[in-house]
């Protein structure tokens, strides 16, 4: 018969085993993956990002968007970062032409290569950077799972098929998220990412000048607030340049929950933002987050970013750890 001390030792070991199993999520990702192999990895990423945003705050939006565009095409495996080689890459697809900040990812990668060569993947850098820009702009932190490996393929066609156009309706949005294993809650919460950043006029111009194709003076999107239409028309002239407009007017550089207030007042910039009023679950979330304290939104955002960060990841011996993020090894 086992003594009570050996029994409690067995009990302790089982618990330790369970705890480490739980820390390692079922897809091979884990919080603190680089704890031993590159202990300063997360601090290095954060330092570079804080330095960059101190001089170029407008990069926070595109750097957050980059993780979304990476994950929705082939999974979160850094394919958005690859340059064209024999064929056009994801980068060349129209929705990615407005992505910026690739040189910042290269800067972070260079700092990491200096500290721990060939250890930290580009896909993980993109995920960590997304978290760090949210924190730097006023949002709350979350634990980023790491351990992703980098893919070796990037194809323009797949980007065009998988990135979601701004004119998508609620049915399309729900389907697109579901195809990636994300819920309706993830859809409404992650759309809150539009609390920071800017958009080009081209992404919503049809809503303010030519919604049905008639192009008459009042051919506007009926779901858009009329005062907001007037404001947007000043920023984006009919035949004017493709200017930048604040996505969350008044606080486009601050990660807060005012996006939900704007959308509920019919001031969402894209049809995909306005569409969130067309479903009972997304509408209920908008309504309950349009005022008050942002703590729940911040917590939800971290949870949904972790969910998004699990899409189609490569782990273990799959893929590679690129030395330069824009090129396969
Ligand atoms: C739900 C479907 C989504 C659609 C249809 C969509 C569409 C767009 C479009 C059209 C732009 C403007 C691009 C431009 O004209 O420069 C944009 C910007 C942005 N999106 Fe989304 N998006 C979606 C979801 C997301 C998600 C999930 C995130 C992150 C969690 C995100 C983060 C951003 C950010 C931060 C910007 C500003 C980029 C900048 O400042 O350059 N979006 N999005």
Dist. CA 291–CA 299, nearest whole Å: 16
Instruction: Please tell me if the CB atom of residue 200 comes closer than 6 angstroms to any atom of ligand 1.
Output: yes
| Distance from Cα 208 to the centre of ligand 1, integer Å | 19
Quote the CATH superfamily of domain 170-304: Peroxidase, domain 2 (1.10.420.10)
Three-state DSSP state, 110 = helix
Question: What is the pLDDT at residue 9?
Answer: 44
Dist. CA 74–CA 87, nearest whole Å: 16
- Pinpoint the residues of the chain covered by CATH 1.10.420.10: 170-304
Q: Residue 94: CB partners within 8 Å, gap ≥ 6?
A: 160
Instruction: Please tell me if the CB atom of residue 147 comes closer than 6 angstroms to any atom of ligand 1.
Output: no
Question: What is the pLDDT at residue 24?
Answer: 56
Tokens of 32: 């603190």
The values of phi and psi at residue 283, to 5°, are -65, -40
Is 69 in the active site?
yes
> Which strand (E) or helix (H) includes residue 272?
helix 271-274
Residue from 232, 299, 234, 292 nearest 264 by CA: 292
Three-state DSSP state, 288 = helix
Instruction: Please tell me if the CB atom of residue 193 comes closer than 6 angstroms to any atom of ligand 1.
Output: yes
158 is in an annotated binding site: no
Dist. CA 79–CA 82, nearest whole Å: 6
Which overall architecture, per CATH, does domain 30-162 show? Answer: Orthogonal Bundle (1.10)
Instruction: Please tell me if the CB atom of residue 199 comes closer than 6 angstroms to any atom of ligand 1.
Output: yes
The values of phi and psi at residue 305, to 5°, are -65, -40
Q: Whose CA is nearest to atom 7 of ligand 1?
A: 166
Residue from 296, 228, 233 nearest 268 by CA: 228
> Could you read off the pLDDT tens digit of each residue along the chain, which spans 329 residues?
344 444 454 544 545 444 444 455 668 999 999 999 999 999 999 999 999 999 999 999 999 999 999 999 999 999 999 999 889 999 999 999 999 999 999 999 999 999 999 999 999 999 999 999 999 999 999 999 999 999 999 999 999 999 999 999 999 999 999 999 999 999 999 999 999 999 999 999 999 999 999 989 899 999 999 999 999 999 999 999 999 999 999 999 999 999 999 999 999 999 999 999 999 999 999 999 999 899 999 999 999 999 999 999 999 999 999 999 999 99
């Amino acid at each position: 018969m086992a003594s009570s001390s050996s029994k409690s030792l067995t009990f302790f070991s089982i618990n330790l085993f369970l705890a480490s199993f739980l820390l390692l999520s079922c897809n091979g990702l884990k919080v603190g993956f680089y704890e031993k192999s590159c202990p300063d990895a997360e601090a290095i990423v954060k330092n570079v990002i804080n330095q960059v945003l101190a001089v170029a705050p407008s990069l926070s939006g595109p750097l957050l968007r980059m993780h979304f565009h990476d994950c929705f095409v082939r999974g979160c495996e850094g394919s958005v970062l690859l340059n064209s080689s024999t064929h056009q890459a994801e980068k060349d697809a129209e929705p990615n032409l407005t992505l910026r900040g690739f040189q910042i990812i290269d800067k972070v990668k260079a700092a990491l290569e200096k500290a721990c060569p060939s250890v930290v993947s580009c896909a993980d850098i993109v995920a960590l950077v997304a978290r760090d820009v949210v924190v730097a702009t006023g949002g709350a932190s979350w634990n980023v799972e790491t351990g992703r490996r980098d893919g070796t393929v990037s194809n323009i066609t797949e980007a065009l098929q998988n990135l979601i156009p701004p004119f998508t309706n609620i049915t399309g949005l729900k389907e697109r998220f579901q195809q990636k294993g994300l819920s309706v809650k993830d859809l409404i919460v992650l759309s809150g990412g539009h609390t920071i950043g800017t958009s080009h006029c081209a992404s919503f111009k049809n809503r303010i000048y030519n919604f049905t194709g008639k192009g008459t003076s009042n051919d506007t999107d009926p779901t858009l607030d009329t005062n907001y239409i007037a404001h947007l028309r000043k920023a984006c002239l009919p035949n004017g340049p493709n200017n930048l407009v604040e996505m969350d007017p008044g606080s486009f550089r601050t990660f807060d929950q005012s996006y939900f207030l704007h959308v509920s007042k019919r001031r969402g910039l894209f049809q995909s933002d306005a569409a969130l009023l067309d479903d009972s679950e997304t509408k209920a979330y908008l309504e309950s987050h349009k005022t008050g304290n942002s703590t729940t939104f911040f917590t939800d955002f971290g949870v949904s970013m972790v969910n998004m960060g699990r899409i189609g990841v490569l782990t273990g011996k799959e893929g590679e750890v690129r030395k330069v993020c824009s090129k396969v090894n």
